[in-house]
Amino acid sequence: MTLKIGVPSKGRLMEKTFDWFGARGVTMARTGSDREYAGAVDGVAGVELVLLSAGEIPRDLAAGRIHLGVTGSDLVRDKLADWQAQVAEIAPLGFGHADLIIAVPTAWIDVDTVDDLDAAAAAFRARHGHRLRIATKYHRLVREFLTAQGVADYQLVDSQGATEGTVKNLTAEAIADITSSGETLRANHLKILSDGLIHASQATLFAARAADWTSDTRATLNTLCAQLGVTASL
Amino acid sequence: MTTRAEIREEADRLFAAFKAAGATAVEADTLLPADTLLDLYGEDIRARAYVTADPLRGEMMLRPDFTVPVVQAHMQGGADPARYCYMGEVYRKQDHLGPRASEYLQVGFELFDRAEPQAADAEVFALFHSLLAPLGARALTGDIGILMAAVNGLTTSPHRRAALLRHIWRPARFRNLLDRFSDRAAPTQARTDMLNRLQSGDTAALIAATGPITGLRTQAEITQRAQTLLDDAQTPPLNAPEAALLYDLLTLQAPARAALSHLRGITPMLPAIEPAVDRFATRLDALERHGINPSDLAFQASHGRSSMEYYDGFVFSFQGPGNGAANAPPIALGGRYDALTAHLGQGRSIPAVGGIIRPGLVAALRGIT
């Protein structure tokens, strides 16, 4: 039985993943035509490459359909409840860095910290009759962060894209989104709360606890880990 | 392992006991409008309740508790006073593996009575005690009203009192605020920097310098809060004896009678708590008349602050004997929620106290003992 490893199927995340494994003697490549999602692995026997959408890799790991997977640590934490019970983190890969942050309009000169946001939310609710809305697609991560900080009088509104535009469009008062350079935030007149870093994400190699771990796949995992210079504790 | 049949049998037994205590049985919908619950509990309820979509009624939630539908039913024309009981499933999403069930039976009792709130508290507690104490469950009581009275009595700005009251049910943030207001924690660098910035010029000019204003929050709102921050920076710290008493209150735990003596002792230094302490004393006397010994009843002034939002007076819970898992849910819990009835009653309100028992945990306890 082969050990299945799920890798992002396109773009920089795929290329960087191939580079990371390649630098450690495990060659990954797409096969067939440009459009066909098929791949091959050389360097360790018994490993099968599965090309998947990065956003779906957490779900496939949770279901145990793949043994290993490369995806953003933010996606695993947000999409999987009790993520540590479902997957094991094997190694951060050092690329795909993005910070999940909370940002508010730059005009809010009275708001710099989560504490300020909480106080502003109380006043906002009293004045406008509804809770201060925070647009995000990272519902679990953002809610857990704000609950742990004891923030009240806010609500999350779903935004699957162009989240920085929601404030201008009056569908949210603040946002929680990933950013790498902060340029889009500045262009949309938003600033990051000084203590509003929810999670510093990067591409990470995960192992699925629910995968079919036979003596074969375990042996392959050990060989692969030795080759990569990492350890997996399942 | 208790079977569903055993749990149902236990629920029937508890329900019968509540009816025998004079309660009218009420039914409640399983699907509740999400907006009422969100308005009441905030965003946290989304993490705890199952949300579903109804094509005509919009977002609905699978009943996370009975309190809201029972109070709403009462406010739409219940008797006064009134006793209600109910039995049915509640649904709670669980984000972590552990002993907490996502679907379980609750049996509850609620008492709406204007005449004698402390007698009502004692009646409800004594009823729960009579059903659970024989099985070895341990009671723990508290009184959020005393803490609220202490905050209301602080000699400080209305802004600071309101900030503390708002976070009574979020102990960590409450503690942060209290540390800051009493100068036990130095202001953060971020706060100092911001105050310096706000003091450096005219607010309108400072806002204009940041570029266009985006979003619903207006310049007037920003200016108002900036002024509040500047005013707050000039507010002297809480006076030391008052702050010390509040810290003392947060950690007060003792048998109820001893806690009362302690509170009587500090009342001269914080006279605002006197009415709340009087109510506590009246309640203990009422409990004694029900045969419950207040010298032997556990009391914690902070009990119920993190688990029971909306409770604003007497609170209680029952735990199984032995240590149990640290995050094991209580067998029963309840308390007074006067403010909730005002909120749901749209102007009308009635003092109310009640609680729920989890028959699944009672049946398990019966199996052990």
Please name each of the domains of chain A with its CATH number.
3-97+202-228 (3.40.190.10), 98-201 (3.40.190.10)
Mean pLDDT score of chain B: 92
Sheet holding A203-208, edge to edge: A47-52, A3-8, A68-72, A203-208, A87-92
Interface list for chain B against chain A, based on CB atoms closer than 8 Å: 38, 42-44, 46-47, 95-97, 163, 166-167, 170, 172-174, 176, 188, 190-191, 193-194, 197-198, 203, 206-207, 210-217, 219, 221-222, 224-226, 229
In a domain, B91, yes or no: yes
- A52 within 8 A of A6, measured Cβ to Cβ: yes
Name the DSSP letter for residue A131: P
Q: Is residue B200 domain-shared with residue B131, that is, in the same domain?
A: no
The yes-or-no verdict on residue B327 having pLDDT over 70 is no
CA B95, B100, B103, B105 torsion-angle sign: negative
**pTM attached to this predicted model:** 0.90
Across chain A, which distance is largest between two alpha carbons, in Å? Answer: 65
CATH number at residue B88: 3.30.930.10
Q: Find out whether A4 and A68 touch, Cβ atoms under 8 Å.
A: yes
Residue B12 in any domain: the answer is yes
Task: Tell whether B40 and B118 lie within a shared domain.
Answer: yes
Residue B38: list chain A partners with CB under 8 A.
155
B192 is in an annotated binding site: no
Of A82, A106, A123, the CB nearest to B210: A106
Residue of B nearest to A175 (CA): B215
Partners of B95 on chain A (C-beta within 8 Å) are 81-82, 140
Whether B74 maps to a domain, the answer reads yes
pLDDT value at position A29? Answer: 86
- Which residues have CB under 8 Å from B48's CB, separation 6+? B64, B92, B93
Tell me whether residue B57 is in a domain: yes
Cβ contacts of B198 on chain A, cutoff 8 Å: 109-110
Number of domains in chain B: 2
Q: Is residue B142 part of a domain?
A: no
- From chain B, pick out residues whose CB is under 8 angstroms from the CB of A127: 221
Q: B194 with B96, same domain?
A: no
Residue B132 sits in the same domain as residue B196 = no
| End position of a domain, from candidates B205, B227, B249 | B227
The residue segments making up the domain with residue B327 are 4-137+320-368
Task: Say if residue B121 is in the same domain as residue B214.
Answer: no
pLDDT of B324 higher than 60 = no
| Chain A: closest CA distance from residue B44 (Å) | 7
Mean local confidence (pLDDT), B304-311: 76
Among the three residues B182, B202, B227, which one is the final residue of a domain in this structure?
B227
Min Cα separation A173/chain B (Å): 6
User: Which of B166, B201, B227 is at the close of a domain?
Assistant: B227
Average pLDDT over residues A149-177: 94
Would B236 be classed as within a structural domain? no
Indicate the pLDDT class of residue B39, thresholds 50, 70 and 90.
confident
0.95 surpassed by complex ipTM: no
Shared domain check, B127 and B23: yes
Q: What was the pLDDT predicted at A35?
A: 64
**Out of B44, B203, B226, closest to residue A147 by CB:** B44
State whether B128 and B196 are in the same domain. Answer: no
**Strands B31-33 and B58-62, sheet pairing:** antiparallel
- Which of the four pLDDT bands, split at 50, 70 and 90, describes residue B309? low
B318 is in an annotated binding site: no
Neighbours of A137 (CB within 10 A): 17
Q: What is the pLDDT of residue B79?
A: 83
Q: Which of B99, B126, B146, B96 is nearest to B260 (CA)?
A: B146
B110 annotated binding-site participant: yes
Query: Is residue B303 included in any domain, yes or no?
Result: no
Residues of chain B with Cβ-Cβ distance to A124 below 8 Å are 217, 221
Strand order, beta sheet including A132-136: A154-158, A132-136, A174-179, A98-105, A190-201
Residue B293 lies in a domain: no
Q: What is the dihedral of CA A97, A42, A6, A46, to 10 degrees?
A: -140
Closest to A70 in 3D by CA, of A93, A99, A41: A93
> Considering chain A, what is the average pLDDT of its residues?
93
Instruction: Suggest the residue from A78, A110, A118 to mutate for an interface test with chain B (most B CBs closer than 10 A).
Output: A110
Res A78: pLDDT: 95
Q: In terms of C-beta density within 10 A (0-12 exposed, 13-18 middle, 19 or more buried), how is residue B290 classed? A: middle
Q: Are residues B200 and B133 in the same domain?
A: no
| Token duo for residue B45 | 């309820």
